[in-house]
Amino acid sequence: EFASKWRSLRACARCRRLKMKCSYENPSFKSCIRCHAASVDCSFEEDPTAKYAKKRRKKSETFRKSTPSQAPLSVRDKEVLGTSIPDIASAQEKEQLQALLNNYRQISESLSEKLHHSDKSNAPLIQGNYPHISFHLNLIKQMIVTYKFFTVEEARNRFRFFIEHMLPYYPTIALSKDLKSFDNLYENFPLLLIACISVTAVNDNNLSIDHTKVSNSQLYNLLNHYLYSFISYQVYVKCEDFSIDLIYVCLILSCWCLPPNKMGQFRNQLNSLTAFNMGLCIDLGEISKFKDTMSLEDASVQRNDLRALLAIYCCCGSLELSLRRFKLVSWTKNHEAATELLMKPQGPDLPTREDRYLVYYSKFVSMAKEIIDFISPIAQNYSNLPSKTKPEECSIPGVKYVLNSYEKKLHQLLGESGFMRDCSDGEQEPKEKLVLSIMYHHLLTILYDNLISNLLHVHDDHRNNTSLFQGNEVEDCLHNIIKLLNICGNLMKCFMKLNSEHTVNYPTVLYYRPMHSLTLLVRLKLVLKSSRFANVEGIADVIKDIDIEKYFADISKIIVENQKVYNSVVCSKMMIILNKIEKWMKVSSAYNFNQKPTNGTSDLSLDLVKLISMSKDQEIESLDPPKDFLEKKKETSTAPEDSPIVYNQNSRLQSPDPAGADIVKTFSPSIEKIFEQIDADIMNYLNPLESYFNDFGGSMEMFDT
């Protein structure tokens, strides 16, 4: 919306040539939307794609082929010179003009020939006119040997980078030694090899050998164009011979992906769904009857089936934790048997480190799903409680007791995994520990967010029109809010520690965890400023301790640096989200509504949780700034007419200036309006598994589980 309102006074060279609108996502960006989507340099002086553009056919006759050097001047030759040449008396002058024309023809033909040969392989990548490759051929060989899009050396380097620097952050895709062999994948599993290579181009890790031939973004678009074509053929056209490597292809593309450019695109959810459906088709779950006769060597079919079964559960189960409508997987006896078989010693090398992580992470997801299944119906409606839930567990003390029991079980489970041990001085913490810590704290944010909603909710049918929010429950609610604030802070500290390793190559979903925590801090600060907590002792100190600005500055610094160093499109998307969170942060910090409801108005706490619960289990990807409040300034502000409320659009990722704080203080919307706006925005804000192509370049349209 902002880009549609703002445009430069002067269009860039490329947009001028195309005669199309030139606009910017943000005034501080160096590239317009169109050039950024095409992954080309945006310049007011020179169009880098002009040389690849098709020349318009002139109305006049086209040039003829070169004639002998002594051929007489033709009428067309005179037109080429741009003027009508009269009869020339001097033979010397005729020869000079003829030589000039011949030189012109030779230079023109030479330039055309060089352009044709030197950019023969580049032009399709820039224009998106990819050559057709038969589905029956080895795709990686065709791309390297036939079309020379990149070299074997670059492919090998990128695959090694994925195995050593990306997969350890999320080893739920537990590849056997055979599937970690480049030569084996090059000959037998080309799609899996291309999937591993493609995700290394999500961020620019400086892995291109010839930077002038194929850029990082062009390579990403190229590989994904063929990958999704071949996946579609294998799954929806051929519909047979589904294999473990094809399941891994879909899971890899789901974990390391790009954020969506707009809502309504579900490519990455579909990647997880496709992997799940292929697992059903090849009957990965039926292992009980073969349990005693299985061969469990590292490269055996049976062991890889067990790994794929749990990998699908982890990815799809993680998706369900944030988006409850994606109820795909359930923990069964077969999953329990798979964990036992994978952890069964099979020599000195088995189980592998990846097997152990896969087993414990799948148990973690199973327990998390169990907790969410318990808490969600209570937070929404007592009539939907699980059949096994005891009545005493529905009370506030009962719910708190159950949650505390689950927390202890989670602590014990992660402790048994061996990944959460404390490291000695100078010892680098394992990558798995940082990721597990973030996932653990994110689960706690979901649980306590639901619990607080329950504490604030009005259960008319169950409580005879009385609120749960009575008596000491105000203090109970405050205690849980403080705990949730600490959980959000710990999550963001884990994210900062993860980025201290100077990498951006962890799964894309992890970028959304601190965004979710920042949004929660804003909403919790508004809750604490409501009339319900006005008379609670010490509430002012609690509000003062919510240092959203510091966390925001720390997260912003990480995102900005990653975007600059790695040219990360993921971080570019996060910067846009941070820009919008910043404006809500100013509203929550400057606004003060610690007032009791006046006569004739409803108790604000009655509708508070209903408004908060609007965001539960919804995508949160397009958080809008509080524009409605800015536009209604005249209705809500006592400021003079000549002091309009305007946010500094260039303040993105900068510390709030005093002027900006004064501006926010000039309006005073009701708490209902603030929560209606926040929750309406949050419903469309965070959906990190969605994928798209266009935002990353060229011809294709470009991802919270």
In 3D space, the residue among 585, 584, 597, 658 whose CA is nearest the CA of residue 628 turns out to be: 584
Write down the pLDDT at residue 122: 52
278: buried, middle or exposed (CB in 10 Å: 19+, 13-18, 0-12)?
Answer: buried
Whether residue 25 has pLDDT greater than 70: yes
Per-residue buried b or exposed e for 252-277, using 16+ beta carbons within 10 Å of the residue's own CB: bbbbbbbbbbeeebbbbbbbbbbbbb
Higher-pLDDT residue of 549, 689: 549
Please give the structure tokens belonging to residue 576.
Answer: 């846009």
Whether residue 307 has pLDDT greater than 70: yes
Write down the pLDDT at residue 265: 65
Whether residue 250 has pLDDT greater than 90: yes
User: Could you tell me if residue 684 is inside a domain?
Assistant: no
Asked if 345 and 160 touch (Cβ cutoff 8 Å), the reply is no
Higher-pLDDT residue of 422, 84: 422
Write down the pLDDT at residue 290: 64
Please give the structure tokens belonging to residue 301.
Answer: 């079919």
Write down the pLDDT at residue 248: 97
The structure tokens 């809010």 sit at 481
What number is the average pLDDT over the span 474-490? Answer: 89
Query: Residue 686: enclosing H or E segment and its boundaries?
Result: strand 685-686
DSSP state of 617: T
Write down the pLDDT at residue 502: 81
Write down the pLDDT at residue 261: 66
Write down the pLDDT at residue 693: 33
Expressed as residue numbers, the domain containing 164 is: 139-342
Per-residue buried b or exposed e for 47-63, using 16+ beta carbons within 10 Å of the residue's own CB: bebeeeeeeeeeeeeee
Residues in the chain: 705
The structure tokens 């804000």 sit at 685
Contacts of 348 (CB under 8 A, 6+ apart): none
Higher-pLDDT residue of 622, 374: 374
Question: Which of 230-244, 560-574, 593-607 is predicted with the least confidence, judged by mean pLDDT?
Answer: 593-607
What number is the average pLDDT over the span 640-665? Answer: 35
In 3D space, the residue among 563, 451, 549, 559 whose CA is nearest the CA of residue 512 turns out to be: 559
What number is the average pLDDT over the span 404-425? Answer: 87
Whether residue 612 has pLDDT greater than 60: no
Percent of the chain, pLDDT > 70? 66
What is the identity of the amino acid at 516? H
Q: Are residues 330 and 439 in the same domain?
A: no
CA–CA–CA angle 545, 380, 516 (5° rounding): 40
Per-residue buried b or exposed e for 417-438, using 16+ beta carbons within 10 Å of the residue's own CB: bebbeeeeeeeebbbbbbbbbb
Whether residue 457 has pLDDT greater than 90: no
Q: Are residues 312 and 430 in the same domain?
A: no
Asked if 699 and 309 touch (Cβ cutoff 8 Å), the reply is no
Cα diameter, the chain: 114
Which one of 567, 598, 629 terminates a domain? 598
Q: Are residues 43 and 144 in the same domain?
A: no
What number is the average pLDDT over the span 131-136? Answer: 91
**CA dist., res. 74 & res. 554, Å (int):** 72
User: Could you tell me if residue 292 is inside a domain?
Assistant: yes
Query: Residue 210: enclosing H or E segment and its boundaries?
Result: none
**CA dist., res. 698 & res. 223, Å (int):** 12
Write down the pLDDT at residue 164: 94
Write down the pLDDT at residue 286: 77
Query: 16: domain CATH number?
Result: 4.10.240
Whether residue 469 has pLDDT greater than 50: no
DSSP-assigned beta bridge partners for residue 685: 620, 621
In 3D space, the residue among 379, 406, 387, 393 whose CA is nearest the CA of residue 612 turns out to be: 379
Question: Which of 26-35, 62-71, 260-269, 318-327 is predicted with the least confidence, judged by mean pLDDT?
Answer: 62-71
User: Could you tell me if residue 591 is inside a domain?
Assistant: yes
Write down the pLDDT at residue 268: 79
**10 Å Cβ neighbour count for 165?**
16
Please give the structure tokens belonging to residue 461.
Answer: 């049918």
Question: Which of 190-199, 325-334, 400-409, 597-606 is predicted with the least confidence, judged by mean pLDDT?
Answer: 597-606
Higher-pLDDT residue of 316, 635: 316
Q: Are residues 190 and 336 in the same domain?
A: yes
> Mean pLDDT: which of 428-442, 463-477, 637-651 is highest?
428-442
The structure tokens 């002086």 sit at 45
**CA dist., res. 341 & res. 359, Å (int):** 10
Write down the pLDDT at residue 501: 81
Dihedral sign, CA of 40, 43, 44, 49?
negative
Q: Are residues 43 and 148 in the same domain?
A: no
The structure tokens 């974990």 sit at 255
Asked if 693 and 202 touch (Cβ cutoff 8 Å), the reply is no
Confidence tier at 667 by pLDDT (50, 70, 90):
very low
Write down the pLDDT at residue 263: 55
Q: Are residues 35 and 158 in the same domain?
A: no
Contacts of 427 (CB under 8 A, 6+ apart): none
Whether residue 468 has pLDDT greater than 70: no
> Mean pLDDT: which of 153-157, 526-530, 679-683 is highest?
153-157
**CA dist., res. 570 & res. 258, Å (int):** 6
Omega cis (within 30) before 259: no
> Mean pLDDT: which of 172-186, 379-393, 577-591, 625-639 is highest?
172-186
Write down the pLDDT at residue 460: 35
Please give the structure tokens belonging to residue 456.
Answer: 């604030």
Whether residue 611 has pLDDT greater than 60: no
User: Could you tell me if residue 41 is inside a domain?
Assistant: yes
> Mean pLDDT: which of 331-340, 367-376, 382-391 is highest?
331-340
What number is the average pLDDT over the span 369-386? Answer: 64
Q: Are residues 158 and 11 in the same domain?
A: no
Write down the pLDDT at residue 375: 79
3-state secondary structure at position 621: strand
User: Could you tell me if residue 392 is inside a domain?
Assistant: no
Q: Report the domain count for the chain.
A: 3
Write down the pLDDT at residue 257: 87
Confidence tier at 159 by pLDDT (50, 70, 90):
very high
pLDDT in tens, 483-524: 999 999 999 999 999 998 888 899 998 998 999 899 888 888
Please give the structure tokens belonging to residue 571.
Answer: 């971080």
The pTM score is: 0.70
Write down the pLDDT at residue 128: 61
Write down the pLDDT at residue 673: 47
Write down the pLDDT at residue 84: 43
In 3D space, the residue among 691, 439, 685, 434 whose CA is nearest the CA of residue 569 turns out to be: 691
Write down the pLDDT at residue 112: 62
3-state secondary structure at position 620: strand
Whether residue 189 has pLDDT greater than 90: yes
Tally DSSP H helices, then E strands, for the chain: 28, 2
Specify whether the backbone of 264 is left (phi greater than 0), alpha (psi in -120 to 50) or beta: left
Which one of 318, 342, 366 terminates a domain? 342
pLDDT in tens, 312-369: 999 999 988 877 788 889 999 999 999 999 999 988 889 999 999 999 999 999 999 9
Dihedral sign, CA of 231, 232, 235, 240?
negative
Higher-pLDDT residue of 461, 570: 570
Asked if 333 and 285 touch (Cβ cutoff 8 Å), the reply is no
Q: Are residues 324 and 428 in the same domain?
A: no
**CA dist., res. 238 & res. 559, Å (int):** 42
Query: What phi and psi values does residue 667 have, to the nearest 5 degrees?
Result: -130, 160
Which one of 31, 52, 73 terminates a domain? 52
The structure tokens 């100190």 sit at 541
User: Could you tell me if residue 550 is inside a domain?
Assistant: yes
**CA dist., res. 557 & res. 580, Å (int):** 16
What number is the average pLDDT over the span 206-219? Answer: 78
Q: What average pLDDT does the chain have?
A: 74
Tabulate helix, strand, coil % of the chain (nearest 5). 60, 0, 40
User: Could you tell me if residue 83 is inside a domain?
Assistant: no
Contacts of 27 (CB under 8 A, 6+ apart): 6, 649, 650
User: Could you tell me if residue 309 is inside a domain?
Assistant: yes
Q: Are residues 30 and 144 in the same domain?
A: no
Higher-pLDDT residue of 655, 627: 627
Whether residue 185 has pLDDT greater than 60: yes
Whether residue 11 has pLDDT greater than 80: yes
**10 Å Cβ neighbour count for 581?**
22
Whether residue 643 has pLDDT greater than 60: no
Question: Which of 95-99, 275-279, 495-499 is predicted with the least confidence, judged by mean pLDDT?
Answer: 95-99
